[in-house]
Chain A
């Protein structure tokens, strides 16, 4: 099965989807279903997070089980800044990104010297390290997390910002994937030893991807904290890393919109199933197992084929 290094432009359909999403808040308000604006915002935010992980896993072949570390760090950065009276998103979000990027650089520098099984376990371990560290710091709220004093941005405005950032992320992913960097990254995924042998600085390429993915995850964490009005330790815990990976595979590893599709599907499942059955995660587990064993290219993969 031949794999192309080039990510083609999506069809007109995705502009249609973006347009529909842009009209969504007005439509929802019209029907008195404002609640769903928040849900849609969550889907976009997690879509951005899952897309950043997709860059790492799908395009770079690096299975990281510690992405929650960057996601949660972004959230806590916003909450901590709000705690000190800084709540304007255009200040806190870039700072959250920068902090997440630095953390990613540090963890990546250590973890990326390993590969395969070691890499998976080490990213998990380092993420847990961040989790335990944050939980043990009293000023960050311990087990209860940290609440934001003020959101700093209205609900509709937050939705539109998230939508704009999501579009940016989707476009950015394609640009990045098709640029020299993206080709090299995919080359590393395909055959790391070969890339080294033809003269690519493989470690540097992986580290760059890891840092970029971490930064974007930090941004989405910041968005989530702003949306939820709080940052909780759950955002740093390993199940969160697992949830992001699940989104990637549900949506399609290495597929351009895999992150968004996966996030939407997973959050929709949670939304629909959890009020009816407290043990809905059993269904999720079974569906996930089925997808992994039977449809490894995920939903986007199935859509692409049929």
Chain B
């Protein structure tokens, strides 16, 4: 493989990893803090992509479309948390699985009813649809660079938020011990809603940014959701650092696998990675809880 091809694949892996990080960050927090599994996380990603596509069709500006997607999905996420998720926090995992699975069914059909079964178009903004010459002779799609920049930006922002702010401290406290956090006076209900809404916003961002690359269609959320689960399992439940490392690992392994292996093996590469990590560390690389 030529150096240029290797560099391209590396950047693709980084880009996929960072987008997965956006999905996994919100997911791992919900899993870690609320001890709740949320299968509908992928539906929020899908909602973001659809809102972006619909807004773009109406407004013509990609920036407006992304903003609408992020804000709209955050609101939907908050609503979902306050109505359904809140009733599930103290329930058993099976109930959580089934209730959020029900939400997937409802969301998929609702989207189908609103926009029909055909995929929607979300084109790359014209200014960013061309290639960029990173090094002499090495061209890389500008849009993918935007994704990488956005992903890194969010990662830095989240890291600062969680490590250096009081809100972040509360989140980390909640992640390691919810009862203690409550006793310490943290408004747990509001914290949960905010955390969930932020997770939804991150999903929407990923959905809007990936829209031009992947198809905006019903069911798009579920395939990426499973990747996000693999990331969380590898990274450790409740850890944003784990989500970051796990996401990059999954992104790179998946991309490298598809470039180097036969299709049958490439498709299972990340699951083999997951099994390997679990064998060595059954709670993931950076489990937040003891």
Direct contact of A and B (CB under 8 A): yes
Contact A117 B274 (CB under 8 A): no
- In angstroms, Cα B268 to Cα A126, docked, is 9
Does A303 touch B at the CB level, under 8 Å? no
Return chain B residues, CB-CB under 8 Å to A124: 226, 229
Does B87 make an interface contact (CB < 8 A)? yes
Q: A128-B271, A133-B268, A137-B264 are in contact. Are A249 and B98 (CB under 8 A)?
A: yes
Chain A residue numbers with a CB within 8 Å of B97 are: 63, 65, 120, 245
Query: Is A85 part of the contact surface with B, judged by Cβ < 8 Å?
Result: no
Query: What 1/0 flags go to B251-268 for Cβ under 8 Å of A?
Result: 000000000000110011
At the interface, yes or no: A94 with Cβ under 8 Å from chain B? Answer: no
Say which residue of A135, A136, A288 sits within 8 Å of B102 (CB atoms).
A288
Q: Which residues on B sit within 8 Å (CB–CB) of A55? A: none
Contact call B237/A292, Cβ cutoff below 8 A: no
Q: Quick check: is B149 within 8 A (CB to CB) of the other chain?
A: no
B271 vs chain A, min Cβ distance (A)? 4
Is A68 at the interface (CB under 8 A from chain B)? Answer: no
Binary B-proximity of A136-159 (CB < 8 A = 1, otherwise 0): 110000000000000000000000
A121 near B106 with CB under 8 A, answer: no
CA of A128 to CA of B254, assembled, Å: 14
Say whether, besides A114-B282, A282-B109, A292 and B98 are in contact (CB < 8 Å).
yes
Task: Return A147 CB to nearest CB of chain B, in Å.
Answer: 21
Total chain A interface residues with beta-carbon distance under 8 A: 40
**Contacting residues of chain A (269-283) with chain B, CB-CB under 8 angstroms:** 279, 281-282
Tally B residues with Cβ within 8 Å of A. Answer: 42
Contact in complex: B267, A132 (CB < 8 Å): yes
Q: Verify A113–B282 contact, CB threshold 8 A.
A: yes
Chain A residues in 8 Å Cβ range of B271: 125-126, 128-129
A146 to chain B, nearest CB (A): 16
B25 to A: closest C-beta gap in Å: 16
Dominant SS at the A interface?
helix
Contact B35 A292 (CB under 8 A): no
CB 8 Å contact bits of B85-128 with A (1 = contact, 0 = none): 00100010111011101111110111011000000000000000
- Chain B residue numbers with a CB within 8 Å of A125 are 226, 229-230, 233, 271, 274
Check B9 for interface membership: any CB of A closer than 8 A: no
By the criterion CB–CB under 8 Å, are B264 and A133 in contact?
Answer: yes
Task: State how many angstroms separate the Cβ of B222 from the closest Cβ of chain A.
Answer: 7
Within 8 A of A (CB), among B130-167: none
B75 to chain A, nearest CB (A): 20
Partner of A116, one of B93, B104, B267, B268: B93
Closest to A288 in B: B102
Contacts of B93 in A (CB 8 A): 63, 116-117, 120
| A14 contacts B by Cβ under 8 Å | no
The residues of B that contact A282 with a CB separation of less than 8 Å are 105-106, 109-110, 113
Q: Which residues 96-130 of A sit at the B interface, judged by CB distance below 8 A?
A: 110, 113-114, 116-118, 120-122, 124-126, 128-129
- A238 in contact (CB, < 8 A): yes
A281 to B87, CA, bound (A): 22
For residue A285, CB closer than 8 A to chain B, the reply is yes
Contact B267 A289 (CB under 8 A): no
Judging by beta carbons under 8 Å apart, are A117 and B31 in contact? yes
Does A284 lie within 8 Å of B105, measured CB to CB?
yes
| Contact residues of B: prevailing secondary structure | helix
CA distance A246 to B102 in the complex (A): 9
Answer whether A133 and B102 are a contact pair too, CB < 8 Å, given A118-B233, A125-B230. Answer: no
Does A242 count as interface, using CB distance less than 8 angstroms? yes
CB–CB B99/A289 < 8 A: yes
Given contacts A125-B226, A133-B264, A136-B264, contact A285 B102 (CB under 8 A): yes
Residue of A nearest to B101 (CB): A242
Is the Cβ of A279 less than 8 Å from the Cβ of B222? no
A110 touches B275 (CB 8 A): yes
Residues of chain A within 8 A (CB-CB) of B99 are 288-289, 292-293
Q: How far is the CB of B258 from chain A (nearest CB, A)?
A: 11
Would B98 and A245 count as touching, CB distance under 8 A? yes
Distance in angstroms between the alpha carbons of A285 and B222 in the assembled complex: 16
CB-nearest residue of chain B to A118: B233
Q: Is there contact, CB below 8 Å, between A285 and B87?
A: no
User: If the complex has contacts A128-B226, A245-B101, A279-B113, are A122 and B95 also in contact, measured as CB distance less than 8 A?
Assistant: no
Least distance between A41 CB and chain B CB atoms (Å): 25
In contact, A253 and B37 (Cβ under 8 angstroms) = no
Is B232's beta carbon under 8 Å from chain A? yes
A133 touching B267 by the CB < 8 A rule? Answer: yes
Residues in A whose Cβ lies below 8 Å from that of B87: 293
Additional pairs, 19, CB under 8 Å, beyond known A57-B94, A110-B278, A282-B105: A113-B278, A118-B237, A120-B37, A121-B233, A125-B226, A125-B229, A125-B230, A136-B267, A137-B264, A238-B222, A245-B98, A279-B113, A285-B102, A285-B106, A288-B102, A289-B99, A292-B95, A296-B91, A296-B95
Task: List the 6 closest A-B pairs by CB distance, nearest first.
Answer: A285-B105, A132-B267, A285-B106, A129-B271, A282-B109, A288-B102
